[in-house]
Structure 1
């Protein structure tokens, strides 16, 4: 059985508090007493609890990454970017789901500051809690979420422009009845992508639906079920712009099962450029951005909260594959094209 601090105190003939002072090099005790305590600790092979040391220092040397969902291909690249920067600072990383609302581990860790800094993606942790904790000089960075505060940094992507580029591409291919397959209505990124969708339709004098009629979760099942319902209502657009790739892939599966050809009958475009987008059939046209860079930059901000920029905006790119059709010469052996700032690069 491992020795305890009480065992050390007994062997050294001092109080437990004196052992604590001695092991933390406190000036409150004499050098003679400190040496006596250390000798006893060495003889008993006593090792102070890491948790106790961190509690005393009020420093856990751990960064918290709080996500709405721990599954899916999107988050793995974000986590990779966070982990690399955390490790370079000799810190630890804890990743928590915000599932459970106010009683979730993520909310508790943030409220009680069990970590030294937090990176938050998703809407399950309320603005009020984030602002309250950040105002207490606690470093917080939010991903793809905007908070009006001098204390909270954010890393955003060009959601609105990315969506605009996706829908404009569909319009250039001759698509006119373009539906928006929405994710959670309250999500910041979903809202911005909807704005880009509407702007593209408006600028090309196309009908903008008065309300969102296709709405699901940011999951393949969400896209699949929503499009199944749409087909049952005998309402078929000639293109679908999905707010993320997983829903787009679910939508394509539903269309295929209903005998609808993609892209011949209905073109489909997603958002996020997840890792298996090139491998579905037809391969998925999407809006790409660097999930790894998003995570890495957010973590750098956590370690450098004095940085002047309150928000950092990362670019998106249109990645053209087969799910929307391809106007012009297309080599089937080439997996995709990336369009960015008017240039085309094989990617």
Structure 2
């Protein structure tokens, strides 16, 4: 008896695409769907109607796709998601995109009812494709519009603008920006806020080029080692997230460079450990718990057909600690 695997092989498509052609034909391009149906006819394949019926039922489960499951950044976000999910009796699956085939199965094969995305490795095209197929999505830190999509973000540009303005008012002018991945929208927005503050202060771009530290502590250490080896430090480093800022602090400590006496450091996110390092990290707080809560709430509204806010932006706040002086100290 032929199987869906046989149909997929004859049609030259993946098993998941062949399955979609029978279970959700609107999700497959017409030419591809015709090729799959023709292969099924030639093989005399008949889909299992009972199994299909099971797959089309609600799972009461949503997926949360994150860039990195190991970092401390996500714990409060996930907590907010889980609280709202528990309130509405939904299950939550946490995953990441290191294996694209697993992500595709999760999102395209009705294993979940909707998804919360905070992962730049899942392209905008995939997000919009899913939305076109009436798959509900709450997208964090993406500037996308669709009837089956809500966008939730912190005010990355505004937070970076205020942080840079503070560094400038404290007397720092040569400020290096340590960016995240080039495909990260939130890193781009934070860089835009940094640039706007420099322009408003009538300052030329700093001598130091923008460095990219991939949002990890190891990346922050790597880029800071490069800076130290150049033999001249900037007056301050503004890291686009706290994990990179922690890597910056570690390398400066290893080279006996004193913070904030020799150089000022600013982070972004206000992860929990930021207040406990030495010296405590000055940073921009973004409300991760509230972001998770809002993302899950808006996703549930999409699932139930209730009205949603298509775009939500939550405020950030500047948290001053020990890695850059207060204005009275400078």
TM-score by length of 2: 0.80
Distance 1:129 1:111 in 2: 10
1:222 aligns with 2:222: no
1:195 corresponding residue in structure 2? 192
Distance 1:92 1:309 in 2: 23
TM-score under structure 1 length normalisation: 0.76
Structure with larger RCO (C-alpha < 8 A, sep 6+):
2
- Partner of residue 251 from structure 1, selected from 235, 248, 252: 248
Instruction: Tell me the alpha carbon deviations over residues 90-144 of structure 1, each in whole angstroms, 9 at most, x when there is no partner.
Output: 11111011113x32x2232112231011000021111122111112222101111
Secondary structure at 1:276 match in 2: helix
Q: Is the 8 A contact 1:107 1:125 kept in 2?
A: no
Q: Matched residue pairs, number?
A: 278
Structure 1 237/62 Cα, relative in aligned 2: closer, same or farther at 3 Å?
A: same
**C-alpha displacement at 1:150, in angstroms?**
3.3
Alignment of 1:1-347 (within 5 A): 55=54, 57-100=56-99, 102-103=100-101, 105-209=102-206, 212-305=209-302, 306-328=306-328
How far 1:177 moved relative to its partner? 0.4
Confirm or deny: 8 A CA contact 1:54 1:60 kept in the other structure. Answer: no
User: Which structure shows the higher helix fraction?
Assistant: 2
Deviant stretches of 4+, over 6 Å: 51-54
SS at match of 1:184: coil
**Distance of 1:68 and 1:119 partners within structure 2:** 12
Q: Is the 8 A contact 2:208 2:234 kept in 1?
A: no
- Structure 2 unaligned regions, length at least 5: 1-49
In 2, Cα distance between equivalents of 1:59 and 1:200 = 48
Residues 174 and 207 of structure 2 are in contact (CA less than 8 Å); yes or no, is this contact kept in structure 1? no
Matched residues in 2 for 1:208 and 1:54: separation?
60
5+ residue gaps, structure 1, are 1-50, 331-347
Instruction: Note the aligned Cα RMSD (angstroms).
Output: 2.0
Alpha-carbon spacing, 1:185–1:209, altered in 2? closer, same or farther (3 Å): farther
